[in-house]
Amino acid sequence: MAVVQDVHGHVHGHPTGIMRWIGATNHKDIGTMYLCFSLTMLFIGGFLIMGVRAELFMPGMQIFEPEVFNSFTTLHGLIMVFGAIMPAFVGFANWQVPMMIGAPDMAFARMNNWSFWLLPVAASLLIGSFFVPGGAAAGGWTFYPPLSTQGGLGVDMMIFAIHILGASSIMGAINIITTILNMRAPGMTLMKMPMFVWTWLITAYLLVLVMPVLAGTVTMLLTDRHFGTSFFNAAGGGDPVLFQHVFWFFGHPEVYIMILPSFGIVSEVIPTFARKPLFGYSSMVYATASIAILSCIVWAHHMFSVGMPAAGQLFFMYATMLIAVPTGVKVFNWTATMWRGSMTFETPMLFAIGFILLFVIGGFSGVVCALVPVDIQVQDTYYVIAHFHYVLVSGSLFSLFAGAYYWLPKWSGRMYDETLGKWHFWLSMVFFNLTFFVQHFLGLAGMPRRIPDYALQFADFNMISSIGAFGFGLAQLLFVYIVIKCLRSGEKAPDMPWDGAKTLEWTHLPTPAPYHSFETPPVVKF
């Protein structure tokens, strides 16, 4: 096909060699690096938790010292959240946002590069901390003091890693906001933007709102550890619970940072494969915004057992439950989009439907957690673990798979193997539920989280869960195989592999997308 976009004047061409990646200013190259990085981190975080699941396979201590076990859990949480899921979404934003709004690139291309290249720095601090005296941080990904005031060098490395990750996220978010606000093609008004772009705009606002607070939090922890301040020390007038407030003021919006772009991806995939426009576009936008706003006033639902005054508990309970309403609107809109569509079920669609099904289960267990009395029982148990893996793994991760299969043809110009893709979906689906569904029971029956050994009545479910986890992990190897196979020997993709796709990257660009797209803005008519 004619690569019209490559005709340009003084604009530099196609950089090659190592500097193409190290110095990259092209949003597609940076997006690719983000995605590769995040896949690597998924494997590292997954590897850690496979160790945990192996230890939990049977009662008794088999593999780990308790402290090492705790550091595996801790680093699993941190690496998955900051290393796998968040960068993956930023990778999608890098690839897709400029193409979907008709922009030539991200607004700040060089800063974009730095946002990425900060990640390996942080990762090296996190992973390196396993090898220093005292070992890695072992206070959970929430690193509550005073426990985290006790740790050694590993905790400080984690703190600096978080500072750097925060800087990376803030720069990334500013870049995305600016790109969306300032670089849209003529005619692309805000209310015509694809849902994915909208969800990212709102996510980016959440990021600039809460990442600096996290930076402040870890800074206070650092000075408490080494410079004698008393933010989290009762003897000096501080309070360990203060940490939890500031941490969760970041932490709760953070979980929506990890789900809103998912909603965006699913809102692109469903209409395409239902061959029918997204139902209730504007209410989707408002629902996303409401979720983001509400997410800033619910943080203390992670702290129902710290002994807040009743008024506080009630306020946070009501606010939390309210989030079910806009989220419900989204689910209903997706259902209505599918209703009377003309559906086909390629892998992206399967993952999107799997996403809705399992995310709703995770949402329901979230609402159960939000009921203060019930949360008093399930807080810090495997019930919570089950809740958030339903929203994070079968939520965020599944939507990422949906998006990856959906856009892989656009990115690479080749088709993935549909049969293998379906295998990947069904294996993931089965093993995922095997792993995490039984954890609801474990939690209800009283198994606390973050323990390396457990009482005998929890034995059979833990074994099932571990088997499921190994199966789920192996199924992800299939994904890597599918991607490699697609890149090396996949069939050539047609310009429009999905007949229902309506967004600019499909309608206005050839497949694969040229290295420089939309150097002259397209004219967008709807």
Partner 1 sequence: MSQATEHYYVPAPSKWPIIGSTALVFMGFGAALTMNKLPLGYSLLGIGFAILVFMLFGWFGEVIRESQKGVYHAQEDRSFRWGMTWFIFSEVMFFAAFFGALFYMRTFSIPWLAGEGVGGVDHALLWPDFTGDWPTAGPGFADNFTPMGAWGIPAINTLLLLTSGVTITLAHWALQKNDRSGLKLWMLATIALGVTFLGFQIYEYGHAYADLNLKLTSGAYGSTFYMLTGFHGFHVTLGTIMLIVIYFRSAAGHFKPEHHFGFEGVAWYWHFVDVVWLGLFIFVYLV
Partner 2 sequence: MGSKLLSFWVGVMVLGFYSGSAVSSKYNLPEPQTIIAQQIYDQHIWALWICLVIFIAVFGVMGYSIVKHRKSAGYKAANFHHSTTVEIIWTAIPCIILIFMAWPATKTVIAMKDTTESDITVKVTGYQWMWGYDYLQGEGEGIKFYSQLATSQSEIHNETPKGENYLLEVNNRLVVPVGKKIRIILTANDVLHAWWVPALGVKQDAIPGFIRDTWFTADNVGVFRGQCAELCGKEHGFMPIVVEVVEEQQYAQWVADQLKTAATDANAAIINAAAK
Sign of CA dihedral 385, 386, 387, 389: positive
Nearer to ligand HEA, 99 or 350 (CB): 350
Take residue 356 and report the two structure tokens written for it.
């809705």
- Which is nearer to partner 1, 230 or 433 (by Cβ)? 230
The encoded tokens of residue 360 equal: 């709703």
404 touches ligand HEA (CB under 6 A): no
Please indicate whether residue 301 is annotated as part of the active site. Answer: yes
Is the separation of the CB atoms in 425 and 354 below 8 Å?
Answer: yes
Q: Which member of 129, 396, 503, 511 binds ligand HEA (CB under 6 A)?
A: 396
Question: Contacts from 217-225 at CB under 8 Å and sequence distance 24+?
Answer: 217/243, 217/246, 217/247, 217/250, 218/159, 218/162, 218/163, 219/163, 220/246, 221/143, 221/145, 221/148, 221/149, 221/159, 222/156, 222/159, 224/145, 224/149, 225/148, 225/149, 225/155, 225/156
Q: Out of 53, 302, 389, 516, which one is annotated catalytic?
A: 302
**49-88: contacts with ligand HEA (CB under 6 A):** 49-50, 52-53, 73-74, 76-77, 80-81, 84-85
Answer whether 324's CB lies under 8 Å from 391's CB. no
Q: Which residues 326-365 are close enough to bind ligand HEA by CB under 6 A? A: 327-328, 331, 360, 363-364
| Amino acid type, 327 | T
Question: Min. distance of Cβ 133 from ligand HEA in angstroms?
Answer: 22
Question: From CA 112, how far away is CA 467, in angstroms rounded?
Answer: 40
d(CA 213, CA 194): 30
Place of tokens 């600016």: 178
Look up 508 and say whether it is catalytic: no
Is residue 105 part of the annotated active site? The answer reads: yes
Which residues does 436 contact at the CB level (< 8 Å), separation at least 6? 385, 386, 389, 390, 393, 394, 465, 468
Decide: residue 89, CB within 10 A, 0-12 exposed, 13-18 middle, 19+ buried: buried
Region for 523 from its dihedrals, namely left if φ exceeds 0, alpha if ψ lies in -120 to 50, beta otherwise: beta
Shortest separation between residue 359's beta carbon and ligand HEA, angstroms: 7
Residue pair 246/175 in contact (Cβ under 8 Å)? The answer is: no
Residue 252 near which of Cu ion, partner 1, partner 2, none (CB within 5-8 Å, type-dependent): Cu ion
**Interacting partner of 275 out of partner 1, Cu ion, partner 2, none (Cβ under 5 to 8 A depending on kind):** partner 2
Report the partner that residue 414 touches, choosing among partner 2, ligand HEA, partner 1, none (CB closer than 5 to 8 A by kind): none
Please list, residue by residue across 450-477, b when 16 or more beta carbons sit within 10 angstroms of its beta carbon and e when fewer do: bebebeeebeebbbbbbebbbbbbebbe
Nearer to partner 2 among residue 17 and residue 307 (C-beta) = 307
Asked if residue 53 binds Cu ion (CB under 5 A), the reply is no
Which of 32, 115, 272, 476 contacts ligand HEA by CB under 6 A?
476
Question: With CB cut-offs between 5 and 8 Å by kind, which of Cu ion, partner 1, partner 2, none does residue 1 bind?
Answer: none
Q: Is 469 in the site for ligand HEA (CB under 6 A)?
A: yes
Beta carbon nearer to partner 2, 31 or 366? 366
Q: Which residue in 95, 256, 334, 390 is the catalytic one?
A: 256
Query: Per-residue x/- marks for Cu ion, 236-275, CB under 5 A?
Result: ----------------x-----------------------
Whether the CA torsion 98, 104, 107, 111 is positive or negative: it is positive
* Residue 492 φ/ψ, nearest 5 degrees: -65, 135
Binding of residue 28 to ligand HEA (CB under 6 A)? no
- 217 catalytically annotated: no
The β-bridge partners of 492 are: 414
Closer to partner 2 by Cβ: residue 136 or 329: 329
Q: Does 389 bind Cu ion (CB under 5 A)?
A: no
Measured from the CB atom, the residue of 206 and 350 that comes closer to partner 1 is: 206
Residues 398, 410: Cα–Cα separation, whole Å? 19
Q: Are 410 and 511 in contact (CB under 8 A)?
A: yes
Token output for 313: 């508990």
Work out whether 323 is an interface residue with ligand HEA (CB under 6 A): yes
302 catalytic residue (yes or no)? yes
Active-site choice (169, 272, 288, 503): 169
Task: For ligand HEA, give the closer residue by CB, 142 or 283.
Answer: 142
Residue type, 16: T
Q: Which is nearer to partner 1, 208 or 420 (CB)?
A: 208
* Candidates 254, 346, 375, 505; catalytic one: 254
Residue type, 510: P
Task: Fill in the DSSP letter of residue 145.
Answer: T
String marking each residue 117-146 x if it binds ligand HEA according to CB under 6 A: -----------------------xxx----
Annotation says 449 is catalytic: yes
Least separation in angstroms between residue 461's CB and partner 2 is 7
Q: Annotated active-site positions, please?
A: 76, 105, 141, 168-169, 252, 254, 256, 267, 301-302, 327, 330, 449
Q: Which residues bind ligand HEA (CB under 6 A)?
A: 42-43, 46-47, 49-50, 52-53, 73-74, 76-77, 80-81, 84-85, 140-142, 255, 258-259, 301-302, 320, 323-324, 327-328, 331, 360, 363-364, 366-367, 369-370, 375, 378-379, 384-385, 387-389, 391-393, 395-397, 435, 449-450, 465, 469-470, 472-474, 476-477
Q: Which residues bind Cu ion (CB under 5 A)?
A: 252
